[in-house]
A and B are shown apart, each in its own frame.
Chain A
Amino acid sequence: MRGPSAERSSGAYALIGRALVALLLSMLCAAVLIAFSGGNPLSAFAAIASGAAGSPHQIAVSLNRTAPYLLAGVGVALCFRAGVINIGAEGQIAFGGLGAAAAAIALPVANPLFAIALALLAGAAAGAAWAALATAIHLFRNVHEVLATLLLNFVALLLVQQMLAGPIGQFGAGFLQSPLLPAAAWLPQLAEGFEAHLGIFIAAAAAVVLSFLLWRTRFGFALRVTGRSRHAATYAGFSLPRLTWGVMLIAGALAGLAGGVEVLGVHRRLIEGFSLGFGFKAVTVALLGALEPLAVVPAALFIGMLETGGQSMQRQIGIPSALVAVIEGLTMLFVLAATARRYTA
């Protein structure tokens, strides 16, 4: 799937190489930190690795963790490519979860295929609607997109909380959550006894579709030109508002899908704070994947496995899983330092 592009053939792959070096450096730093706090870095990394992929169960947990990061991450990558800095995935994911849960509860369909499709579509629509609100504020009121998307995150989280405290909450649960969703809407497991759900396939398919969109369609060309030079995009006859609408709605729908997948596949109900931090992880994986949709796949997988492994490391050898956050942060820093020219040029 090679487009007539110079950036793709040389630039993106070189950047991915640099991202890998950055990754190694961050592991090295983490090793030093673990050693300082009295742990054994090798056994810690071994615990992370076995916790992430040591058994079918662990692999399934890792894949389920990866799916929402990947879905939202490729959407963020698309926005960043167009020079639209969308930090709103957090709220769009939460809204997507709300939409999916609300649809599954309000419109119970017996056929699983229809039930799942309906709930996921509702999630995507809800995510896109939340992104549309930010886009409208950005374009019509001239508010910078970072502010519009970021601040609406908090509003979205509170709205979801409000809904759980009212119309779709489970009365007397002692915890803000919805009733269990109808079983027809649950995402099927990939195999008997293997808890990974369909979400990872949906996410991988989204990455492939977005890669095609970015490199092989006129829309993708227009957004790459826009991300490089707004002057050139205007000169080329591309409409900047239309492009902004396009990438924001796609990213919002994907983030909404991420929320829907998490709700239908993992929790099978809407829980307060089910997606806390997912939207920011989406930014991390997008940058880690050098804004290249197909490279966001391993990036999301890496973060998903790291977090799953980190939790089991804490259980097994008592090194706090907060260390995983440190590794994530360091990786981010090194990747940004290694690829800085890309984002400032």
Chain B
Amino acid sequence: MAPLLEMHGIERSYGSVRANDGIDLTVAAGSILGLLGENGSGKSTLMKVLFGMIPPDAGSIIFKGRELSGHNPAAAMEAGLAMIHQHFMLVDAMSVAENVMLGWPAAGRILARSRIATQVREASARFGLDLNPDSSVGDLSLGRRQRVEILRAVLRNADLLILDEPTSNLAPAEVSGLLSVLRRLRAEGRGVVFITHKMQEVLDVCDEVVVLRAGRVAGCVPVKGASRAALATMMVGHVAGATSTAEIHPAGAARLQVRGLHARGIGGIDFELRAGEILGVAGVDGNGQLELAEVLAGLRRADAGSVALNGRDITHANAATRISAGLALVPADRARTSLVRSMSVSENLMLRDSGRAPYSRRGILRPAACDAKALALMSSFDIRATGARSPVARLSGGNQQKVVVARELDRAPAVLVAHQATWGLDPGATRFVLDRMIELRNRGGAVLYISSELEEVLAISDRVAVLSGGRFAGVLEKGEFDLSRIGLWMAGQGGAA
């Protein structure tokens, strides 16, 4: 029997980045395919191509024996594809039945409420979804909302359901419920693509698994007989360029001491960051990275534990105090937090330093000095802009990030916390940012480098910790970096180092 879906040689680039570089993928009817990979490995791009949200540069898609090309999401749904996004596409104020009818031509122009309600009840019973057509979606738990999405797909006779990280927002009990729904879909002869980075779920429910890495298929194996370690290695790969800082740096005095830190999203983190070292924090995004960066920078409250900077307790200090104490932060969110887009390069360079020389004196700004300082920083950090007064929004992503990095490093901080500092940057700008981190380290600064780009973390760190579920799953010293252990920790397996 011909497979339900065949994708051949899919290629798709964003600028100079090859997000999909010749991917082949096959899904048989009545099977569940796991799609495994780190952030940025090309999973979502591939699924967007399949669903017609973006056109591929090359390659073909054959679904149910017919070629799909030049399609849009509406045509994809018409053909029998359904995509369930991480963020649900539901209207909270409407009932389950109304959400099912939404944008569904078969619901008719004059809404047949009772007929749809009956269908919802039947399908709900058949799949064990336990949904009442009249309950309001806003009152439902996240797990139930997801079932509404599944129900919607099933009633539209979708033959292939794509679930994008469906378990990331679910409680454990809801996860096992979802997995049994997936099994029922398989038993009916439908196909499922299950996108995840959690290995246990793949092993539990999938028939076959495709591992993507850097836009290519790193492996395609039946789940039966696959080992966790082999999958982890496939996912993480071997690391190129990790030798750039091969010599081990003797670390100096403790700069940042974190003890038993608890906050929303963080459950007990301990570490010590020493002068002249880069501590890399690897892990899949959403495991407490944002929270850790924000708690350290004073943007989020710590519930318990302590943070000391150069021996001084700053657990409850505000952001301004931390800045003057020598704590710098490169946040992940350039759009809203680290830059004010409509303001000038000059103003963004003084964003966190407006109270000190040369930017102001006794509360009065010194525009000429601000601009001179901005021009100096623009030349030393190679920030390409038409002038110090041009709005930062007109700069490319790489130049925007250089503005942030220039501002945070110009203060000569004792500790720099960098979160996804190279996100969205091209290779040249990435290299630039990484080199600045290494430079700071070599001058005796301490860097906490939080990133989901494992290769970068391994390339520049003196020690690597893996953040998983809001805790450090383990820490490795340079020289004992072990990809399969890191991969297992990232996947939420294994205990402390």
Residue A2 CB within 8 A of the other chain: yes
Task: Establish whether residues A216 and B367, one from each chain, have CB atoms under 8 Å apart when the complex forms.
Answer: yes
Task: Establish whether residues A225 and B343, one from each chain, have CB atoms under 8 Å apart when the complex forms.
Answer: yes
Residue B360 CB within 8 A of the other chain: yes
CB closest chain-B residue, reference A219: B363
Which residues of chain B are within 8 angstroms of A345 by Cβ–Cβ distance? 342
Interface residues of A (CB under 8 A from B): 2-7, 9-11, 215-222, 224-225, 228-229, 231-232, 234-239, 345
Task: Establish whether residues A218 and B354, one from each chain, have CB atoms under 8 Å apart when the complex forms.
Answer: yes
24 contacts between A and B (CB under 8 A): A3-B365, A4-B347, A5-B389, A6-B344, A7-B342, A7-B343, A10-B391, A11-B342, A216-B365, A216-B367, A217-B363, A217-B364, A218-B363, A219-B363, A221-B350, A228-B341, A228-B343, A235-B299, A235-B329, A235-B337, A237-B320, A237-B322, A237-B323, A237-B352
Residue B355 CB within 8 A of the other chain: yes
Residue B346 CB within 8 A of the other chain: yes
Given contacts A4-B389, A6-B389, A218-B355, contact A225 B346 (CB under 8 A): no
CB distance from B249 to the nearest CB of A (A): 30
CB distance from A25 to the nearest CB of B (A): 26
Task: Establish whether residues B339 and A232, one from each chain, have CB atoms under 8 Å apart when the complex forms.
Answer: yes
Task: Establish whether residues A232 and B340, one from each chain, have CB atoms under 8 Å apart when the complex forms.
Answer: yes
Task: Establish whether residues A235 and B342, one from each chain, have CB atoms under 8 Å apart when the complex forms.
Answer: no
* B122-145 residues at the A interface, CB under 8 angstroms: none
Which residues of chain B are within 8 angstroms of A217 by Cβ–Cβ distance? 360, 363-365
CB distance from B225 to the nearest CB of A (A): 49
Residue B410 CB within 8 A of the other chain: no
Q: Give the docked Cα–Cα distance between A284 and B350 (Å).
A: 33
* B305-354 residues at the A interface, CB under 8 angstroms: 318-323, 329, 331, 333, 336-347, 350-352, 354
Task: Establish whether residues A2 and B367, one from each chain, have CB atoms under 8 Å apart when the complex forms.
Answer: yes
Looking at chain B's contact residues, the main secondary structure is mixed
Q: Give the docked Cα–Cα distance between A224 and B311 (Å).
A: 35
CB closest chain-B residue, reference A345: B342
Q: Give the docked Cα–Cα distance between A74 and B8 (Å).
A: 64
Q: Which of B341, B352, B371 contacts A4 (CB 8 A)?
A: B371
Q: Give the docked Cα–Cα distance between A237 and B388 (Å).
A: 23
Nearest 8 A-B pairs (CB), nearest first? A237-B320, A6-B344, A4-B370, A4-B346, A6-B391, A237-B319, A231-B337, A4-B367
Which residues of chain A are within 8 angstroms of B351 by Cβ–Cβ distance? 225, 232, 235-236
Q: Give the docked Cα–Cα distance between A2 and B347 (Å).
A: 13
Task: Establish whether residues A221 and B352, one from each chain, have CB atoms under 8 Å apart when the complex forms.
Answer: no
Task: Establish whether residues B370 and A232, one from each chain, have CB atoms under 8 Å apart when the complex forms.
Answer: no
Task: Establish whether residues B389 and A9, one from each chain, have CB atoms under 8 Å apart when the complex forms.
Answer: yes
Q: Give the docked Cα–Cα distance between A30 and B342 (Å).
A: 35
CB closest chain-B residue, reference A222: B354
Which residues of chain A are within 8 angstroms of B211 by Cβ–Cβ distance? none
Q: Give the docked Cα–Cα distance between A152 and B130 (Å).
A: 50
- Size band of the B side of the interface? 35 or more
Q: Give the docked Cα–Cα distance between A40 and B234 (Å).
A: 83
Which residues of chain B are within 8 angstroms of A219 by Cβ–Cβ distance? 363
Which residues of chain B are within 8 angstroms of A228 by Cβ–Cβ distance? 340-343
CB distance from B410 to the nearest CB of A (A): 15
Which residues of chain A are within 8 angstroms of B321 by Cβ–Cβ distance? 237
Residue B26 CB within 8 A of the other chain: no
Task: Establish whether residues B360 and A218, one from each chain, have CB atoms under 8 Å apart when the complex forms.
Answer: yes
Which residues of chain A are within 8 angstroms of B340 by Cβ–Cβ distance? 225, 228-229, 232
Q: Give the docked Cα–Cα distance between A220 and B359 (Å).
A: 13
Given contacts A4-B346, A7-B343, A236-B351, contact A229 B364 (CB under 8 A): no
Chain B, residues 376-397, CB within 8 Å of chain A (1/0): the string is 0000000000001111100000
Given contacts A218-B355, A231-B337, A237-B320, contact A3 B367 (CB under 8 A): yes
CB distance from B364 to the nearest CB of A (A): 6
Interface centre among B338, B351, B370 (most CB of A within 10 A): B351
Q: Give the docked Cα–Cα distance between A220 and B363 (Å).
A: 10
Residue B195 CB within 8 A of the other chain: no
CB distance from B368 to the nearest CB of A (A): 8
- A sample of 18 more A-B contacts (CB under 8 A), given A217-B360, A232-B337, A232-B351, is A4-B374, A4-B388, A6-B342, A7-B391, A11-B342, A216-B365, A221-B350, A228-B340, A228-B341, A229-B336, A229-B340, A234-B319, A235-B319, A235-B331, A235-B351, A236-B351, A236-B354, A237-B322
Interface centre among A5, A10, A238 (most CB of B within 10 A): A5
CB closest chain-B residue, reference A237: B320
Given contacts A6-B343, A221-B365, contact A229 B337 (CB under 8 A): yes
CB distance from A318 to the nearest CB of B (A): 48
Q: Which of A11, A221, A229, A231 contacts B347 (CB 8 A)?
A: A221
CB distance from B336 to the nearest CB of A (A): 5
Q: Give the docked Cα–Cα distance between A231 and B319 (Å).
A: 12
Q: Give the docked Cα–Cα distance between A210 and B264 (Å).
A: 41
Residue B297 CB within 8 A of the other chain: yes
Which residues of chain B are within 8 angstroms of A3 by Cβ–Cβ distance? 365, 367
Given contacts A5-B347, A236-B352, contact A216 B342 (CB under 8 A): no
CB closest chain-B residue, reference A1: B367
Q: Which of A7, A224, A234 contacts B299 (CB 8 A)?
A: A234
Which residues of chain A are within 8 angstroms of B336 by Cβ–Cβ distance? 229, 231-232
Which residues of chain A are within 8 angstroms of B363 by Cβ–Cβ distance? 217-219
CB closest chain-A residue, reference B370: A4
